[in-house]
Amino acid sequence: MVLALQQRPCCCTTTARADLRQGAHTRLLTRAALARPEGQKSDTGLSKQGRVALAGLAAALTLASTPHLCSARAVLPPIDQDPKRCERAYVGNTIGQANAVADKLLDLRKCNFKDADLSKKVLSGALISESDVSGANLREAVLTKAYAAKSDFTGADLTNAVVDRVDFRKANLKNVKFKNTVVTGSVFEDANLEGAVFEDALIGREDVKKLCLNPSLQGEARQDVGCRTK
């Protein structure tokens, strides 16, 4: 089961609107694939199972190719009431590591991970907003499509981690180590990057532009990111 955040577009570009239309078309294809009775084949000769697999592949390709919506506002589900939900971070997602596919939403909002050892954990698709992750060991962790807005990552170590399409909006990333980290398609809007280290980080071209626009990114970090000198 794919668990994704709903997003409301605001002032989106033509490209973003096109991506939204593509996503809607994919959903229609999925419904059509499921509509026929079990065992009945479509005009293409595919069984229902084949159509489901094909529709799933189309959905995955759409998600993988769609960038963050500009100024999009996430609509989050209610916080999971499971008293042990925060402990799931130490297990992480065990399936669908690359594309945030999971059998259950990884809800880590408002959890305390201060100085926690989350190294090599797969936190793909996790809701980890408004949490204390300060000083945490996230070396080699996978954070694909994680929603980490307004969280405190002060002094966290993300060396060799995968920071792919992560939303760090208004997060405190002071003194975070992004050494040799893969940074692609992520949001750093209004994030505090004071003292952050990007040594040898592999940063996407668009991410470089966004990072360099953040006034809290200063000194050697700007050089490591690849910002042009003023």
Task: Extract long-range pairs of 23-31: CB within 8 Å, 24+ residues apart.
Answer: 23/62, 23/63, 23/66, 26/55, 26/58, 26/59, 26/62, 27/59, 29/55, 29/58, 30/55, 30/56, 30/58, 30/59
CA angle 42, 45, 48 (to 5 degrees): 55
Please give the Cα distance from 61 to 51 (Å, whole number). 15
- Location of structure tokens 């994919």: 26
CA nearest neighbour of 149 among 118, 128, 124, 125 = 128
Q: Which residues pair with 162 in a beta bridge?
A: 142, 182
Domain assignments of the chain as residue spans, ordered by start: 6-74, 78-230
Q: Is the dihedral of CA 60, 64, 69, 75 positive or negative?
A: positive
Give the contacts of 35 (CB within 8 A, at least 6 positions apart): none
- Using an 8 Å Cβ cutoff, are 110 and 132 in contact? no
pLDDT at 181: 98
- How many whole angstroms from its chain centre is CA 24? 20
pLDDT at 123: 95
CA nearest neighbour of 112 among 145, 93, 89 = 89
CB atoms within 10 A of CB 168: 26
As averages over each run of 10 residues, the pLDDT of the chain (230 residues) reads: 39 40 43 48 47 41 41 75 94 64 80 98 95 98 96 98 97 98 96 98 95 95 89
For 144, phi then psi, to 5°, come to -55, 125
Q: What is the pLDDT of residues 85-143, one digit of tens each?
A: 999 999 988 655 555 455 678 999 999 999 999 999 999 999 999 999 999 999 999 99
